[in-house]
Amino acid sequence: MIKRRNHGRGHSYYADGMPGHDPAELVKLPGVTTILGMQPKPGLIKWAAETTADYAVDHWHELSELTFSECRKRLLAARFEHVDPLARRGTEVHKLAAEIVVGRPVAVPDELRGHVEHYRRWLSDFSVEPIAVELVVANRRVGYCGSADLVAHVKGWGVTLLDIKTSASGSIWPEAALQACGYSRAEVYAFPGEWDDEHELSGLGIERCGALSLRSDGYDLRPLETGQEVWDYFCRLASNHRAQPQLDDWVGDAVEPVRVSA
């Protein structure tokens, strides 16, 4: 069994049959995106610094009326005021896409009409035929799980594992290739609510991976490299993640000088 447990705005993954554990024990596993947290993201650091600086400039007079501690709290939270609405938009777009691709009717908020229009256009342009939607994957040997958006037959590409990205800039970062590689190299998959019904991922016949940049003003479909070099890189990140609990043991206790008695 593999299982995703939702809690608040997050979720966690579990799998039984893990090496070194009782076969029936559900063991908590990291998600693919958690493992990718081991990868340095200088662009994200730059964005956080610039967003905080912009907030300080735009709210200069308002901040000047606060105490130093209150001002500090506002600045620390500034970047989240920007990113939280984007995250909610991305979540909503993914939910709508999962319904639309299988032909279910949806109620589309006005602010997402552009995204939906261009998603429907992509489905038509590439004659997309869904095979598996919102599947939860697991790799017990390496020790991870993840949630893939879509496996579908795409005209000119064959059976493709696709990850939907909703960045307003349309940028597809290299981490997208690592993410798709992790999904496509999983061993099994299941659907939410059907955790006991595992299937071999190889049975889907995935031939390649891609990222769909979906925006209010258009879409771009971009191929993602997921060969051996990318897989080796992902496995190194997974190994680094597993090693994290050991880090505190790498520094010993303070050593007292040896005192020689007279």
Please tell me the total count of domains within the chain.
1
Residue 253 within a domain: no
Nearest by Cα to 152 from 225, 199, 82, 204: 204
Q: pLDDT for 116-165, tens place per residue?
A: 999 999 999 999 999 999 999 999 999 999 999 999 999 999 999 999 99
CB 197 within 8 A of CB 191: yes
Contacts of 222 (CB under 8 A, 6+ apart): 172, 210, 211, 212, 213
Q: Please check whether residue 64 lies inside any domain of the structure.
A: yes
Q: How far apart are CA 97 and CA 91, in angstroms?
A: 10
Closest CA to 178 of 235, 111, 112: 235
In this model, does residue 88 exceed pLDDT 90? no
Determine the Cα–Cα distance for residues 135 and 149; give it in Å rounded to an integer.
7
Query: Does residue 256 belong to any structural domain of this protein?
Result: no
Q: Which range, 50-64, 76-90, 170-184, is most confident?
A: 170-184
Mean model confidence pLDDT for the chain: 92
**pLDDT of residue 43 exceeding 80:** no
Question: Is 156 part of a structural domain of the chain?
Answer: yes
Indicate the length of the chain as a whole number.
262
- Treating both helix axes as pointing N-terminal to C-terminal, what angle do 175-184 and 228-243 enclose, rounded to 10 degrees? 90
Question: Which range of residues forms the domain containing residue 97?
Answer: 2-242
- How many CB atoms within 10 Å of residue 161? 27
Q: Is residue 258 part of a domain?
A: no
Runs of H (alpha helix) within 101-193: 113-125, 175-184
pTM confidence score: 0.86
58 within a domain of the structure (yes/no): yes
What pLDDT is recorded for position 90? 80
**252 domain residue, yes or no:** no
pLDDT band per the 50, 70, 90 thresholds, residue 238: very high
Alpha-carbon gap, residue 178 to 155, rounded angstroms: 24
**What's the average model confidence in pLDDT over 57-69?**
90
The whole-number pLDDT of residue 83 equals 59
Percentage of the chain modeled with pLDDT above 90: 71
Q: What is the pLDDT of residue 82?
A: 64
Tokens of 157: 């590409």
Q: What is the domain-level CATH number for residue 225? A: 3.90.320
Give per-residue pLDDT as tens, 4-25. 998 877 899 999 999 999 999 9
In this structure, the number of other CB atoms found within 10 A of the CB of residue 51 comes to: 16
pLDDT of the residue at 23: 93
Is 207:112 a contact under the CB 8 Å cutoff?
no
* pLDDT reported for residue 40: 79
The whole-angstrom separation of Cα 120 and Cα 105 is: 12
Q: Are 85 and 93 in contact (CB under 8 A)?
A: no
pLDDT tens digit sequence for 183-224: 999 999 999 989 999 999 999 999 999 999 999 999 999 999
Q: Decide if 219 contacts 166 (C-beta within 8 A).
A: no
